[in-house]
Amino acid sequence: MAVSSSKDVALSIRGLQAWYGESHVLHGVDLDVHSGEVVTLLGRNGAGRTSTLRAILGLTGDRKGSIKIRGYETINLPTYQIAHYGVGYCPEERGIFSSLSCEENLLLPPVLKGMGAGMGLDEIYAMFPNLAERRNSQGTRLSGGEQQMLAVARILRTGANLLLLDEISEGLAPVIVQALAKMIRMLKQKGYTVVMVEQNFRFAAPLADRFYVMEHGRIVEHFAAAQLEDRMPVLKELLGV
């Protein structure tokens, strides 16, 4: 592993299995993320990347295995307690609330107990001036790009330091994708730990410290950024990129 094991482990998943009702979607996922790392989960459609993030938060059906967040076992906790271990979640479908204004959406996730202070509203508006401009608009009236910024921005306020970001670059204009890449670099600089699910390999490649590749609900490959060149042939085969 490229990262020295002396660093704190932010997230450690062992033998994670998950179901949606009867359908078994995760078949034993093992994954480690160290504090301050940016890790990308790659995989084809339906490989189980979204399900892995959802399972961390208890948003799938039944789960089995172990999910430790900064050393604390969370697999048996109800969903509403898990965020308080410092987890911020940006869902694939963005989850902007239409009955809330832009600013209400931004202020919705509660500041987490026992975590350090998150970013202030001013800081967030400085980073995303569009959101400041549209603070009083209905959340779902924002453009796709603005909604995506909002979905990420609202978890930066809470003090969460383990961010689970699901396909944040999907379907967005290149300028906005660049702004998001810049934001990820900034978050990394500030010491946030990020787990990104990405389809857009070109977005993820320059940002990530390490990569995991999923297939059929399992991790099938994992390597550090430095090994990316060597692994390209394998990746091409696994992802069809």
Residues that bind ligand ATP (CB under 6 A): 20, 23, 25, 43, 45-51, 92
Q: Which residue is nearest to Mg ion (CB)?
A: 50
Selection from Mg ion, another protein, ligand ATP, none that 76 binds (CB < 5 to 8 A by kind) is none
Contacts of 204 (CB under 8 A, 6+ apart): 40, 42, 196, 198, 211
Rounded to a whole number of angstroms, the minimum distance from the CB of residue 172 to another protein is 20
Selection from another protein, Mg ion, ligand ATP, none that 46 binds (CB < 5 to 8 A by kind) is ligand ATP
Cα–Cα distance for residue pair 12/14, rounded to 1 Å = 7
H/E run at residue 230: helix 228-239
Rounded to a whole number of angstroms, the minimum distance from the CB of residue 197 to Mg ion is 6
95 binds another protein (CB under 8 A): yes
Which CB sits closer to Mg ion, 92 or 104? Answer: 92
Among 3, 91, 205, 228, binds another protein (CB under 8 A): 91
Selection from ligand ATP, Mg ion, another protein, none that 25 binds (CB < 5 to 8 A by kind) is ligand ATP
Selection from another protein, Mg ion, ligand ATP, none that 6 binds (CB < 5 to 8 A by kind) is none
Greatest extent of the chain over all pairs of C-alpha atoms, in Å: 49
Q: How many CB atoms lie within 10 A of CB 4?
A: 7
75 binds another protein (CB under 8 A): no
Angstrom CA distances, 203 to 27, 43, 72, 182, 188, stand at 28, 14, 32, 11, 15
72 binds another protein (CB under 8 A): no
50 binds Mg ion (CB under 5 A): yes
Token pair belonging to 53 = 């993030």
Torsion angle, CA of 78/18/211/203, rounded to 10 degrees? Answer: -80
Rounded to a whole number of angstroms, the minimum distance from the CB of residue 87 to Mg ion is 18
Angstrom CA distances, 165 to 44, 65, 91, 198, stand at 17, 22, 7, 9
Which CB sits closer to ligand ATP, 26 or 124? Answer: 26
Cα–Cα distance for residue pair 239/236, rounded to 1 Å = 5
Site residues for Mg ion, 85-114, by CB under 5 A, read: 92
Rounded to a whole number of angstroms, the minimum distance from the CB of residue 21 to another protein is 10
Q: Which residues bind Mg ion (CB under 5 A)?
A: 50, 92
